A and B are shown apart, each in its own frame.
Chain A
Amino acid sequence: MSAAVEIQNPYLPEPYRLIRRYPLTDDVHFFQVRAVDMDRALSLKYSPGQFMMVSIPGIGEAPFSISSTPSRPGLIEFGIRRVGRITDQIFKLKENSVLGVRGPYGTGFPVDKMEGKNLVIVMGGLGAIPLRSLLQYALDNRDRFAHLALIYGARTPGDMLFRKEFLSLMDRDDIQCLLTVDKDDTGKWPGHVGLPTVLFKHLTNLNPKDTNLVVVGPPVMYKFIVAEALKLNIPKHQILMSLERRMKCGIGKCGHCIIGGYIYTCLEGPTFSYWDVTHMKGLI
């Protein structure tokens, strides 16, 4: 006789339906999913910066940043780069197929504390995926933020994720949208050309004490962007970032994402401030 299970199992993935998918670039695709259980889909609470664990039976499970905003409930969106065994299988999924998802996990960005202040969002490469959540959240709650700026650096126009979505923001007057590419191979690029650091000169009249700067991008990017933020005198605890680590559980048990001895990235991160980074060893 099997005994009654007393504890709810947080490791068991829930069924989610793949609603829509399309390519953002050659190797990064957009995946929109929804919990099969409609009540669950509508009651799911999360914050920008959180992640979920996506399961492919027979292959395994991996963490993915949420790219959608909780201000538009029901659908969850991911941007996924094809990079290994699990993502290979995710790329084979057809629309309307069912996959396993659990979460949301992690702390996310402290949006409550960020409200009322200026918000500068700096994206590089795949960093656009988690930061699109925060960007959309800020746009959907525009009256709760002071000045809003977006800086996004990509290698070429073709590498820019959510390109159409972000280009359309250039026409708006409630956001300062600074898009740049390292190299314009199309000749038709309407944005800037050059490194994202040079765009900081456009951020004028920002009171640094009332400004949060959030940066997510490839590891090499942090050093340069943080240097620019410090030049603007933004306090270290108001410079925020999101870190990537190996994760097998997402709930503070498997150990792989530990940094600085006992910080479980999955529980206390993946969002950290530059102050955390300077006083805990091994973060970036």
Chain B
Amino acid sequence: MRAVKLKKSHLKGFLTCVGGWGELWGPVKRNGRHVLESIGDIKDIDLTALRTTLPFKKLLFPPKFSMFRYDANGFQDTLSAIPKRVIFGLHACDIKALCILDEFFAKEYKDPYYYERRNRTAIIGHSCIPDDKCFCNATDNETVTEGFDLFLSDLGDFYLVWVGSSLGDDMVRECPKLIDTNVGHEDLKKYIQFQKHRSEQFKRQIDLTGMPDIVELSMDSPVWEEEGEKCLSCGACTIVCPTCPCYNVNDENDLGKPSGERMRQWDSCMFREYSLVAGGHNFREARAERLKLRFTHKLQSFVGKFGKPACTGCGRCIDTCPVGIDIFTMVKKLQGEEVRS
């Protein structure tokens, strides 16, 4: 992969330059938390941001959007007018999640709503230093080699910029005055040092080896009931998870008219109604059954289908679950280790 250098003092100029390609989005601090927002003033971007409360998925399949309109004459596609966007500041874990979603939404039937947005979205990643909730080292997401157009690694007074796509290459070439194409041995040494330093910062140790087998053999474990007792079915874990794609569909009528829109809205397998069918039978009435679905999906079955777990180690569920049921603690519990809560 091609790499170039960008002086930190040139970042603002560079982002202004790439902002010409599309609407710039990046992490901003609001009420003590980071959120992904449309950027008016580049100095609002907080480069220290780790996980944003909601991941980038809110831009690729918004929490609620119109799929199409209907009226007395039938159904009309409204799939259009999606703006071009540049998302700046995604970390390796989010880019891995993006790769998972790219694959998921392309499988069997290509999802037009996801891909109409995805095809108009450029990704500029940014390196990070893990905090006490990160465990991307356990999910093999410490570095990324695909899924981005550019990836900026912070090496002190400059960024090493990995060029991940043809579009990324165009972006770099459009600002020749800001970019240094002369990457030498010293720079590489700094990069290796940075990666070494980064990998030493993880506070959590977890080993996901063998999880599919452990989950398969733990179907009757009391852990599910114990955690199900605590679970509030609030769905927050699925809302913040960067790889959770499930949704519900509802028709919303225009007031007093036979017309309206078919709306698609984030859903959660933690909700009681998730597996409820007409006539009243619920295939997952118990909270323990719903937890089992979520964690088998992430840690076991997904590995069988995609060759990797559907968890990137971003730490959002650890940060969010009000009763401490997250991937990390569930793995530890299923592995039979005590977890301090």
Contacts and interface: CB of A to CB of B under 8 A. Distances in A.
Interface of A: 1-3, 5-13, 15, 55, 57-62, 81, 83-84, 86-87, 98, 100, 219, 244-246, 248-249, 251-256, 258-263, 267, 281-282
Interface in B237-266: 245-251, 253, 258-260, 262
28 contacts: A3-B80, A3-B120, A5-B79, A8-B112, A9-B68, A10-B110, A11-B112, A57-B75, A58-B251, A58-B253, A58-B258, A60-B251, A62-B278, A86-B278, A100-B70, A100-B74, A244-B281, A246-B274, A246-B283, A248-B248, A251-B109, A253-B109, A253-B245, A255-B247, A256-B274, A256-B275, A262-B302, A263-B301
A84 to B, nearest CB: 4
B130 to A, nearest CB: 28
Interface of B: 67-68, 70-71, 74-75, 77, 79-82, 104-105, 107-113, 115-116, 119-120, 215, 219, 245-251, 253, 258-260, 262, 267, 269, 274-279, 281, 283, 289, 293, 296-297, 300-302, 304-305
A176 B229 CA distance: 52
A62 B116 CA distance: 25
A189 to B, nearest CB: 27
B108 A252 contact: yes
Contacts of A5: 77, 79-80, 112, 116
Nearest to A102: B75
A22 B104 CA distance: 41
Contact of A255 (B80, B246, B278): B246
Choose among A8, A62, A281, A282 the residue with the greatest number of B CB atoms under 10 Å from its CB. A282
Contacts of A87: 278
A261 B281 contact: no
Residue with the greatest number of chain B CB neighbours at <10 A, chosen from A57, A248, A251: A57
A83 B278 contact: yes
A59 B251 CA distance: 6
A245 B249 contact: no
Contacts of A255: 245-247, 267, 269
Nearest to A284: B283
B115 A7 contact: yes
Contact of A12 (B75, B120, B275): B75
Contacts of B119: 6
A249 to B, nearest CB: 7
- Dominant SS among interface residues on chain A: loop
Given A13-B75, A15-B74, A58-B251, 8 more contacts: A3-B81, A11-B113, A251-B109, A252-B107, A254-B247, A254-B249, A256-B248, A261-B296
A5 B116 CA distance: 8
Contacts of A13: 75
A281 B246 contact: no
Given A100-B74, A256-B246, A262-B302, A83 B279 contact: yes
Contact of A98 (B74, B108, B109): B74
Nearest to A254: B247
A57 B251 contact: yes
B297 A261 contact: yes
A243 B217 CA distance: 25
A259 to B, nearest CB: 8
9 closest cross-chain pairs (CB), A and B: A261-B301, A262-B301, A255-B246, A2-B80, A261-B296, A57-B70, A251-B109, A7-B112, A84-B278
* Residue of A1, A7, A248, A261 contacting most chain B CB atoms (<10 Å): A261
B108 A267 contact: yes
B281 A55 contact: no
Contacts of A83: 278-279
A89 to B, nearest CB: 11
Contact of A246 (B247, B258, B277): B277
A245 B74 contact: no
A254 B246 contact: yes
A284 B246 CA distance: 23
A58 B70 contact: yes
A3 B296 contact: no
Contacts of A1: 81
B67 A11 contact: yes
A226 to B, nearest CB: 19
A50 to B, nearest CB: 14
A253 B247 contact: yes
Contacts of A262: 296-297, 301-302, 304-305
B250 A84 contact: no
